[in-house]
C-alpha cells in the first residue's frame, strides 16, 4: 500500500496558535508513526496542537499495510474520527484506547478544547483495494485487483469528474480547469459546501500521488510550482480518460450548470 497523507490546515492548530502558522502535511508509509499533541522538549510531536486541554502527547497515528490506527493517550478525553463524506458517520476513540483501526478512506480527527471549539486535522487513508466485480464469487487466488480503485461517492472523485468535464463534453481539447474553476463548478453540490481551493488541491494531490501513483515530467524536472501543478492536473485527466475511470455518465454527478454554462456546446463526448 502507498501509505497515508496527514494534513493540518492553517488555523487548525488551536485558538492559541501563532497567527499565520503554516499548514503541515506529512506522508507516512506502512510501519511509520506520527504523534500529535501540544508537545514539549521531552515529548516531541509531528503535529503540534496548541490548547491547554490537549495533552503534551495526545495520541499517535500508525500506518499498517491496508489501514491506519489511532491511539488515544489521554486519560480523560475521547477523540472523534469523522467521515466528511459519510453523511455524519463517525467513530469515537475513548481515553487510553490503543491502535483503534480506522476504516475511512478520508477522515477528520477532532479533539475538544477549552474554548468550546475543536482542533482537527485530516487523514487521507491507504488506497482501498476492490476486487474485480466479474470474479467476486470465485476463490481468492482467481481474483484480479483493480489497478485504480475509485470511490465514486467521494469528493475527490467529484473533483476528478470536474477536471475531465471539458474534454468529455468536447468543449476544449487542451485546457484543464484550474483549481478556482473547480471550486466554482462544484458550488451547489451538497457535499461540497465550503469547499476551498486548498481542499481541491489536496484532492488533486491525493488522486495523483496515492490513487494513480503518478510521477509527472514537471515534477521530475522541478520547475515552478505553477507548472508542477498544471502538469499534475494534466496527468490526472489523461489517465482518467485513457483508462475510462471517468466516463460521460459520471457527468450526472456534477451540479447542473448555470445559464453561462448552458450556452456552451453540449456535444456528446468523442469515443
239-251 pLDDT, tens digit each? 898 888 999 999 9
Phi/psi of residue 93, each to 5°?
Answer: -105, 110
Same domain, 74 and 183: no
% of the chain at pLDDT higher than 90: 38
User: Does residue 131 belong to any structural domain of this protein?
Assistant: no
Q: Is the pLDDT of residue 204 over 90?
A: yes
Q: Is the pLDDT of residue 259 over 80?
A: no
Q: Tally the domains of the chain.
A: 2
Same domain, 11 and 112: yes
Instruction: Look at residue 103 in the predicted model and tell me its pLDDT.
Output: 87
Q: Is the pLDDT of residue 37 over 90?
A: yes
Q: Is the pLDDT of residue 92 over 60?
A: yes
User: Does residue 141 belong to any structural domain of this protein?
Assistant: no
Last residue of a domain, one of 102, 124, 146: 124
Same domain, 88 and 187: no
Cell of 149: 480503485
Residue 66: pLDDT band by 50, 70, 90 thresholds?
confident
CATH number of domain containing 79? 2.60.200.20
Cβ atoms of 77 and 96 within 8 Å: the answer is no
Instruction: Look at residue 227 in the predicted model and tell me its pLDDT.
Output: 58
Same domain, 118 and 16: yes
Phi/psi of residue 160, each to 5°?
Answer: -65, -45
Instruction: Look at residue 182 in the predicted model and tell me its pLDDT.
Output: 96
User: Does residue 11 belong to any structural domain of this protein?
Assistant: yes
Same domain, 22 and 96: yes
Instruction: Look at residue 59 in the predicted model and tell me its pLDDT.
Output: 95
Same domain, 180 and 75: no
User: Does residue 139 belong to any structural domain of this protein?
Assistant: no
Last residue of a domain, one of 108, 124, 140: 124
Cβ atoms of 248 and 168 within 8 Å: the answer is yes
Task: Please give the average per-residue pLDDT across 190-208, as a whole number.
Answer: 89
Q: Report the alpha-carbon distance of residue 185 to residue 119 in Å, rounded.
A: 29
Same domain, 198 and 103: no
Identify the residue with better confidence: 156 or 145: 156
Instruction: Look at residue 139 in the predicted model and tell me its pLDDT.
Output: 54
Q: Is the pLDDT of residue 45 over 90?
A: yes
Cell of 220: 521530475
Instruction: Look at residue 36 in the predicted model and tell me its pLDDT.
Output: 95
Domain span holding position 31: 4-124
Cell of 123: 487523514
Q: Report the alpha-carbon distance of residue 125 to residue 232 in Å, rounded.
A: 20
Residue 226: pLDDT band by 50, 70, 90 thresholds?
low
Reference 204, options 147, 252, 212, 148; nearest CA is 212
Query: In sequence order, which residues have a C-beta less than 8 Å from that of residue 157 and are 6 or more positions away?
Result: 150, 151, 250, 253
Cβ atoms of 95 and 78 within 8 Å: the answer is yes
**What separation in angstroms does the CA of 87 have from each of 84, 165, 190?**
7, 26, 10
Identify the residue with better confidence: 161 or 225: 161
Same domain, 171 and 87: no
Same domain, 89 and 13: yes
Same domain, 93 and 52: yes
Query: In sequence order, which residues have a C-beta less than 8 Å from that of residue 43 and are 6 or more positions away?
Result: 35, 37, 56, 57
Amino acid at each position: 500500500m502507498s501509505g497515508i497523507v496527514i494534513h493540518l490546515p492553517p488555523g487548525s492548530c488551536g485558538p492559541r496558535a501563532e497567527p499565520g502558522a503554516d499548514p503541515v502535511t506529512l506522508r507516512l508509509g506502512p510501519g511509520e508513526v506520527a504523534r500529535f499533541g501540544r508537545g514539549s522538549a521531552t515529548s516531541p510531536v509531528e503535529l503540534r496542537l496548541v490548547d491547554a486541554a490537549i495533552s503534551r502527547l495526545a495520541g499517535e497515528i500508525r500506518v499498517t499495510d491496508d489501514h491506519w490506527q489511532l491511539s488515544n493517550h489521554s486519560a480523560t478525553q475521547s477523540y472523534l474520527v469523522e467521515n466528511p463524506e459519510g453523511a455524519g458517520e463517525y467513530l469515537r476513540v475513548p481515553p487510553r484506547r490503543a491502535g483503534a483501526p480506522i476504516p475511512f478512506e478520508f477522515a477528520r480527527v477532532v479533539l475538544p478544547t477549552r474554548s468550546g471549539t475543536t482542533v482537527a486535522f485530516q487523514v487521507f487513508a491507504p488506497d482501498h483495494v476492490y476486487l474485480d466485480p466479474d470474479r467476486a464469487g470465485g476463490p481468492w487466488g482467481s481474483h484480479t485487483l483493480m489497478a485504480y480503485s475509485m470511490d465514486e461517492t467521494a469528493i475527490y472523485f467529484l473533483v476528478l469528474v470536474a477536471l475531465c468535464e471539458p474534454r468529455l463534453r468536447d468543449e476544449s481539447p487542451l485546457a484543464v480547469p484550474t483549481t478556482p474553476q473547480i471550486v466554482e463548478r462544484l458550488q451547489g453540490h451538497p457535499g461540497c459546501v465550503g469547499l476551498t481551493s486548498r481542499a481541491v488541491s489536496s484532492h488533486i494531490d491525493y488522486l495523483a500521488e496515492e490513487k494513480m501513483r503518478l510521477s509527472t515530467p514537471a515534477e521530475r524536472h522541478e520547475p515552478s510550482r505553477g507548472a508542477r501543478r498544471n502538469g499534475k492536473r494534466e496527468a490526472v485527466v489523461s489517465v482518467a480518460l485513457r483508462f475510462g475511470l471517468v466516463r460521460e455518465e459520471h457527468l450526472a454527478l456534477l451540479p447542473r450548470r448555470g445559464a453561462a454554462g448552458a450556452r456552451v456546446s453540449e456535444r456528446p463526448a468523442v469515443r
